Structure 1
Amino acid sequence: MRACIVVIARPGRLPRIEGSGGIAGRHTEPDTVHLVSTAATPLGGDSLKVRVVVEPGARLLIRTVAAAVTLPGAGTDHSTAWWDIENAGELDIDPQPTVVAGGSSHGTAVRIGLADTARLRLRERVQIGRCGERDGFWSGTLCVDVGATPLLRHRVELGSGAVGDDALAAPRACVSELRYPARSFETAGTVLELAHGGSLATWQGDRLPAG
């Protein structure tokens, strides 16, 4: 299944939402959109594309109503999610965790273009395996530019077959949080100040913390 959703935020208006496939968006506050799965997805072979545009002076919060659970498909175990973001206003993206079920593989790619005046908070949480499961693989890439200036190139692999996988003590959960232009903030994990503004916090462990 191929699913696609576009959310465009303009000052003084409800965000515009266009969706197709197994995903839809719902206005839950004047500046908040919740993404909702309308079918069993992501399964192996599924692809999700999310396009977000925040115009100058606009504010947008993106949330999801439930965790995303990836499952292997009949022909392949791999599914993908692509986020393409242009932000010239204030954007806060904090979806529920992605749970990579045993036997499945999932890849997430996020590209963000920021204006100099933009404000951003992006949090991503991933858990390998449901209760009692240790296999499953996830890879995530994050590419962020401020205007024409590169801000961040970040890649993480987690789970069975990852570069740092170890049967004895390898992490099976991670949390990444990017903020711009804030150069530091209080959170669990390690906070890295970025050279051109903003900061990235990363945490890894066996199970995701509550909240």
Structure 2
Amino acid sequence: MRTELSIVAAPGRLPRIDAVGGLAGRHTGTDTVHLIGTAATPLGGDELDIRIVVLPGARLVVRSVAATIALPSTRTPESVAHWYFEVGAGAELDFDPEPTIVAGGARHHAVTTVRLAPEARLRLRERVQLGRSGEDGGAWRGDLCADLGDIPLLRHRLELGADTGTDDRLSAPRALDSELLYPDDRPAWAGSLDAVRLPLAAGGSLATRTSARLHADAPGGAVSVARPGVTSA
């Protein structure tokens, strides 16, 4: 299955939502959209193409009603999701969906592209868990490419799970909590080898926390995001 979803937010009106395939969006506030699964996706072989644009001066909050579960198919274990975010001058995006669960045997690849105007504000959070209860297989790879105007802001890749370069059945992490925040002028912070927040040369920060299982509570320490101008829905 191929899924295409487009959300475009403009000042003074509800965000425009266009969707085809296994993912849709619903207005849950004047500037809030919740992602809703309309079919079982991603299955092996599925491709998701999600485009979220916040035009200059607009504000958008994106959440989801449930976790996303990546499953293998009889044909292939691999699925891919392409995420494109564009935030204009004076605009603000707060993106924090429920986690992606990669079921045992599945392999999911997330490719995220971010385009920010220098005066934009962004909170972009991603949470991943390998395996449902009793499962330990599966693999996930995330590529994150962010630009601030014409300046590269971040190039980042992280892999979890089977056959990755850091995989270790005894101690390798199976969960990720990651957050890209712009602007952010806080200094670097490290709670442990597995929880860090690093400032970016062009501004903003990237916080990551890896563990065996996702934490049930709200993120803290390296992934603390409280600041004026960005609120959770």
Equivalent in 212, 216, 223 of residue 210 of structure 1: 216
Does 2:15 correspond to 1:9? Answer: no
| Distance in 1 separating the partners of 2:94 and 2:143 | 18
| Distance in 2 separating the partners of 1:183 and 1:109 | 26
SS at match of 1:120: strand
Supply the AA of the counterpart residue of 1:142: L
| Distance in 1 separating the partners of 2:160 and 2:119 | 34
Supply the AA of the counterpart residue of 2:16: R
How far off its partner does 1:184 sit? 2.8
TM normalised by structure 2 equals 0.88
Deviates further, 177-186 or 32-41: 177-186
2:68 alignment partner in structure 1 = 68
Counterparts of 1:95-114 in structure 2, within 5 Å, are: 95-114=97-116
Supply the AA of the counterpart residue of 2:136: R
TM normalised by structure 1 equals 0.97
Counterparts of 1:62-211 in structure 2, within 5 Å, are: 62-88=62-88, 89-184=91-186, 189-211=195-217
Supply the AA of the counterpart residue of 1:162: T
Do 1:60 and 1:90's aligned partners in 2 also have CA atoms closer than 8 Å?
yes
Do 1:187 and 1:201's aligned partners in 2 also have CA atoms closer than 8 Å?
no
Where structure 2 has 5 or more consecutive residues not aligned to the other structure, the ranges are: 218-233
| Distance in 2 separating the partners of 1:60 and 1:184 | 24
2:223 alignment partner in structure 1 = none
Where structure 1 has 5 or more consecutive residues not aligned to the other structure, the ranges are: none
| Distance in 2 separating the partners of 1:176 and 1:153 | 14
| Distance in 2 separating the partners of 1:209 and 1:49 | 28
| Distance in 2 separating the partners of 1:148 and 1:59 | 22
% identical equivalent positions: 56
Regions of 4+ moved over 6 Å: 185-188
Do 1:3 and 1:48's aligned partners in 2 also have CA atoms closer than 8 Å?
yes
Deviations 1:137-193 (A, max 9, x none): 000010000111000000000011111001111110011101001123899721100
Do 1:183 and 1:194's aligned partners in 2 also have CA atoms closer than 8 Å?
no
How far off its partner does 1:132 sit? 1.0
| Distance in 1 separating the partners of 2:105 and 2:154 | 31
